[in-house]
Chains A and B, each alone.
Chain A
Amino acid sequence: MPYINVNNDLPGIRGLMAFSPETAAPMGDLANALLKDTEGLSPAERELIATHVSYLNDCFYCHHSHGEIACIYLDGNRDLVDQVRHDYQHAPITEKLKSLLRIAGKVQQGGKKVTTEDVENARTNGATDKEIHDTVLIAAAFCMFNRYVDGLGATTPTDLSTYPPRAKQVAENGYGRHIFSQHQPL
């Protein structure tokens, strides 16, 4: 049960967004701009960064939600998503994505933790300024989303079989008002 009365029983951030649709609107727009964009990083790479940061922030709802969305983009490769969560250095992903995940992990600790060396390393591995920018902002945004969810004690489903239907809804229709205003997918 959330710490405040949200007047609904929707899971995770959806319950909070339904309580406060006026702040949910820009948050949904931000999520679409950051995670559905196909210029530079792929949506799969973007969701993997989100999953990794949410895992580092120990946000069960977010790292499972975004891990399942990444899984859809990766043709069901859940093992890869699991490995990126806690051991991306040894995951079969590009060196570029590894260097971006390193930057994301630093952002999770605090903005000033990102070093020139981290950025040079990413650039050497082929990352563009836009990809570095997007990585920093995705990581920063999940430091917000994760705190919003856990800071208000949002309802967190523990049954992992409930996550894929919601992930499918987002993969197909994006983020936005529909995720809390329509019937929840089962």
Chain B
Amino acid sequence: MAHINLPDLPGIRGPMAFSPATAKPLNELAEMLLRNDNNSLSRGERELIGAYVSSLNDCFFCQNVHGALAGHYLNCGIPEIDAIKKDYASTDISDKMKSLLSIAASVQKGGKYVKKEQIEAAKKLGASDKEIHDTVLIAAAFCMFNRYVDGLATWAPEDRNYYVNRAPQRAEEGYIDFDLYK
């Protein structure tokens, strides 16, 4: 049971329905960071960063929502996303993406864990300033979203296919124009 009396919705949707005034900017931030197409990182790559950080924060709801979205955009399934979350270095994602996930992992521990050498490594592999900026902010934002979801002890569907099945519709609707109750 959630720590406070929330509308009976899974994950972040409960607190968002409870507090529409804060839900609005939270969703606008998610839309800009994860879905806006004026970005050289693909939607799939950005959702993957969100899913990875959520797995490091042990947030079941967020890592499954965003893992399923990453899988949807990257045309892969739960096993491939799980392999990246578990040990991205041994997967066949690009070296640039690996360097960005390394930065995201440091951000998850704390801002000061990011070292100049990691940034330099990402730049050498072709990451732009905007891509590094967005990686840091996506990772930081998930340190917020994950804490919001688990800090209020929200519930989440246990069946991971629930998230996979919803992903195409969530990808289509985006983070701003969707019904929290559906």
> Chain A: residues with CB nearer than 8 A to chain B?
3-6, 16, 19-20, 22-23, 25-27, 29-30, 33-34, 37, 57-59, 103, 106-107, 110-112, 114, 116, 119, 129-130, 132-134, 136-137, 139-141, 143-153
Contact = CB atoms under 8 A, between A and B. Distances in A.
A143 B133 contact: no
Contacts of B22: 30, 33-34, 137
A151 B59 contact: no
B132 interface: yes
A114 to B, nearest CB: 5
B59 A111 contact: yes
Given A26-B28, A151-B136, A136 B147 contact: yes
Interface residues of B, number: 50
B25 A140 contact: no
Given A3-B132, A33-B24, A153-B114, 4 more contacts: A23-B33, A30-B26, A114-B151, A147-B110
A33 B21 contact: yes
A114 B151 CA distance: 6
A147 B4 contact: no
Interface in B122-155: 129-130, 132-134, 136-137, 139-141, 143-153
B29 interface: yes
Given A23-B32, A133-B18, A143-B147, A151 B57 contact: no
Nearest to B153: A114
Nearest to B28: A26
Contacts of B36: 22
Given A111-B148, A112-B58, A147-B107, A23 B137 contact: yes
Contacts of B147: 107, 110-111, 136, 139-140, 143
Of residues B57, B58, B110, which shows the largest number of chain A Cβ atoms within 10 Å of its Cβ? B110
